[in-house]
A and B are shown apart, each in its own frame.
Chain A
Amino acid sequence: MECTSKQQMKTLIAVSIIALVALALIPQIVHAQLAQQTSAKQYINLRAEVWNEFFRMTTAAFTVGAIVSGTMIWLVWRFRESNPKNKAPTKWEHMDDPTAGSYEEEGH
């Protein structure tokens, strides 16, 4: 059944409120639990773990970054209209509006 936009809007607002409430509550619950059991030594260990996590994240971020940036540069070079390999019109160009719709609507 096709949802009406009113229903979608209600769902959107409900999901947003639930997410905001969760975001507001989770830190307090976690904090209350950790505050009871964290000693000075554990606190320092936690800091070391955060640094460790940071370096892991940085490695992941820069790896993904290099791949995405490289892909973008290749895309710009490969799919520019002046590229000899790219002379033929795309299959969407015969349409009044080649950008109408999206892949999802075409069943991809």
Chain B
Amino acid sequence: MVLELQKPRPVWQIMFSTHHTDVGYLYLVFGITFLFMGGVLAMIIRTHLFFPGQGVLVSDSATFNRIFTVHGLTMLFLFALPVANGIGNILVPIMVRYKDMAYPKLNAIAFWMNPVGAALLWLGFADTTWVSYAPYSIIRAPGPAADMFIFGMKILGISSILSSINFVVTIVKCKHPDLPLRRVPLFAWSMLTVSLMTIVAMPTYASALIMMLTDRLGLSGFFNPFAGGDPIAYLHLFWFTFHPEVYIFLLPAIGMMYEIIPRFSRKPLYSQASGVFAFVMLGIIGFASWGHHMYSTGMDFTTKVVFMIGTLAAVPASGMHVFNFLATMWGGRIRFAAPMKFAVGGIALFFSAGAGGVLNSAMPLDFISHGTYWVVGHMHLFLIGTIGFGFVGMIYYMFPYVTGRMYSEKWASAHFVLMFWGTVQTFFTQHLLGLEGMPRRVYDYPTEFTSWTQLNQISTIGAWMIGASFAIFLASLIYYSAKGKEANMDDPWGIGGKYYYPVAAKNPHGGHSGY
């Protein structure tokens, strides 16, 4: 069977393979490894902020800046994107009934650019923040760290574009002739949408990186105010790419929930068409809202209103996904195995994060919350609450198919409870910290502000719970992939039905009966 690792192979066979499942495994191992590396940095940040004025773990602010910069870069570009690509690599060719990705060698090359980019980001350990604000990043940021950041991001960007081209061609051109595009499963639709978005968005940031590099070398002054340049121009270029990138991180997680929720509700998806429509809408609207990151930069009133409306336009499309999930669960007989727990938890947190986003998008409130811990809380509620929960649920879902063994449902439940509680405690509290006025990206805060101390301590305890939950996750992944009970590969959770997507690979004639 294609997906199993039941018969161990030498590692080099997987490493030098161009087969889509092997490349998918490589992406997954890479992404999960960096999840834990980025997670360790997060624990350092939160533990450091437990006591004000102590310098508990980090002795100086420059090191602190480096830690949160690399934490952000790691979680976004070395965890979220690779894991989505990994699961996409494994499932998309099966879903469109093709033997592999359209360009297998290009696929492997796109993966192997990731370790190079990761090495540059981690060895450089830049202090520019993940946004890499000009003019600091071009005038003051110490090299070679900032230069390594630019080259690392450049390589990761090229990798993203190559893998996106591969996904688009695989889904649009290589799908089975009997399978109309509108019937392609929604996870594949999510990968198609984010791939098209990447192809449109990423070149802008690629240009900004080149401009930043030439500015740093003194050859140009695009963003350098001393040379007549405009730092705000960098922000426009950055957010034109990275607001859509938010959806590029998010939509695969929603696609994964579409795979999990009907399966564990034991009934068909409520509406394929509304899912497709909502993905396409979010793909377009994602480009209409980058200005909301920059309300406080002196943008004129009308433009701000337009970006406010553009941002709010994402609400109906996001709501369509939520209602589709709820309508699918309605009337089902739901088995709350680990993947379903994480999917439902992810929907609840997606909704909460979305509610915060509505408030963020309103410019009057944005002026109050801008640059505060509110933004940190909001962003992380999306990233961990939706993307993290979707990805972790999908990893549990894939576990028996990849390893041939079952994980422990008991430990997975412990993981879920700790992670859900920890996420709520950490990031809801950070919203309150923001409303109390605590700025983001600070190394220390005054001891006199007792409410800041209390809220930081509550948030840090929540972060430790998330850390503990991921320690359980790591131990489970390692232990049960070697010692777990053998899984019933036709129906690992005993919920009925024979043909799951991963299993469909070994049933070329049976296939997925609905498609």
**Chain A residues within CB distance 8 Å of chain B:** 2-6, 8-9, 12, 15-16, 19-20, 23, 26-27, 30-31, 34-35, 38, 43, 46-47, 50-51, 53-54, 57-58, 61-62, 64-65, 68-69, 71-72, 75-76, 79-81, 86, 89-90, 92-93, 95-106
Contact = CB atoms under 8 A, between A and B. Distances in A.
Contact of B513 (A5, A81, A97): A97
Given A98-B266, A98-B497, A100-B513, A81 B334 contact: yes
B420 to A, nearest CB: 13
A31 B302 contact: yes
Contacts of A4: 180
B498 A96 contact: yes
Interface string B278-290: 0010011001100
- What is the size category of the interface that chain B forms with chain A? 35 or more
A79 B323 CA distance: 16
B272 A79 contact: no
A83 to B, nearest CB: 9
Given A53-B362, A96-B497, A99-B267, 14 more contacts: A9-B181, A31-B300, A50-B305, A50-B364, A58-B359, A62-B355, A72-B351, A75-B326, A79-B334, A90-B333, A97-B497, A103-B268, A103-B271, A105-B268
B347 interface: yes
Given A72-B326, A81-B335, A95-B497, A90 B267 contact: yes
Interface string B247-282: 000000000000000110111111111000000100
B351 A69 contact: yes
Contact of B181 (A8, A15, A51, A104): A8
Contacts of B119: none
A89 B355 contact: no
Contacts, number: 169
Contact of A8 (B180, B266, B301, B315): B180
B318 to A, nearest CB: 11
Contacts of B301: 38, 43, 46-47
14 contacts: A6-B172, A8-B182, A15-B280, A16-B280, A20-B284, A47-B364, A51-B364, A57-B362, A76-B334, A93-B333, A99-B497, A102-B273, A103-B269, A105-B514
Interface string B177-205: 00011100000000000001000000000
Contacts of A90: 266-267, 331-333
A72 B326 CA distance: 7
A101 B514 contact: yes
